[in-house]
Amino acid sequence: MPRYALKVEYHGAPFAGWQRQADQPSVQGAIEDALAKLEPRAHTIAAAGRTDAGVHALAQVAHCDMEKGWDPFRLSEALNYHLKPLPVAILQAAQVKDDWHARFSARERRYFFRLLTRRAPATHDKGLVWQVGHDLDLGAMRLGAAHLIGNHDFTTFRSSICQAASPVKTLDEITIEQVEGLSGREYHFHIRARSFLHNQVRSFVGTLERVGAGAWDPIRVKQALEARDRAACGPVCPPEGLYLAGVGYPEDAFGHT
């Protein structure tokens, strides 16, 4: 059975997350249903990461096994036809080796978070940003974020229902930029690691927002990290500003240079 990698974009609002669920809509379920229109049978796909309810993706990666050989472009076009009108799109498909795995072959995940600061309610970007009604101190947030870089026990920043075997992870990047957009001032968080704990990114951003608002001193982030106690974490921010922005592999399955 030939295996295909799929690069997937989706708007997370209508879904209960990536993972297939029996009684709620999911991104995985939507794609598996579309695959069943092409080859009528039960399909099971795997993804690089299981995003939560309301979280979006710019470039999620999944893989599927097909009974017949498909031209990758035709496979992506056929899936997009059957995914309508759901806000899910197959950006690209590529045939990969039989032992290639969207999750286990991945070497890094990249997340992107949009935080909008303005008093008036978001209209065009509603559901695509986390909005707060106060200004933030970019310098303070950067100072706080610097304490998170490196190999640490991230117990403080993991969900109580996290199923990861260990809370120890290596955070390779967390950068924050201030952007003056048409709809107002945004703060963009770029976060990169080989793997993440459940709710880790949203815990980071929610905590750093408290630093930017002046409620936390930047050094408190270090103290929270060292506490290894979920109770020391700042508030977990809502999911709508979070995007799975990309997944890195030893060799790009999609042929980009």
Task: For 218-227, write each residue's pLDDT tens digit.
Answer: 999 999 999 9
Distance CA 217, CA 211 (A): 6
**Within its chain, how far is the Cα of 102 from the centroid?**
14
| CATH at 15 | 3.30.70.580
| CATH at 207 | 3.30.70.660
137 and 47 fall within a common domain = no
49 and 152 fall within a common domain = no
Looking at the DSSP bridge assignments, the partners of residue 5 are 63, 94
CA geometry: angle at 131 spanning 126 and 135, to 5°? 145
Instruction: Confirm if 222 and 146 have CB atoms less than 8 A apart.
Output: no
127 and 60 fall within a common domain = no
pLDDT band at 255 (very low <50, low <70, confident <90, very high): confident
- Mapping DSSP to helix (H, G, I), strand (E, B) and coil, where does residue 175 land? strand
Report pLDDT for 256.
59
**Catalytic member of 33, 52, 153, 217:** 52
| Known catalytic membership, residue 71 | no
Q: Is residue 163 included in any domain, yes or no?
A: yes
Which residue range is the domain that position 196 belongs to?
108-245
152 and 222 fall within a common domain = yes
117 and 62 fall within a common domain = no
Distance CA 13, CA 208 (A): 24
Distance CA 124, CA 131 (A): 12
Task: For 174-210, write each residue's pLDDT tens digit.
Answer: 999 999 988 899 999 999 999 999 999 999 999 999 9
Burial class (CB in 10 A: 0-12, 13-18, 19+), 60: buried
Number of domains, the chain: 2
Residue after which a domain boundary falls, among 81, 105, 129: 105
Task: For 46-93, write each residue's pLDDT tens digit.
Answer: 999 999 999 999 999 999 999 999 999 999 999 999 999 999 999 999
Instruction: Confirm if 76 and 90 have CB atoms less than 8 A apart.
Output: yes
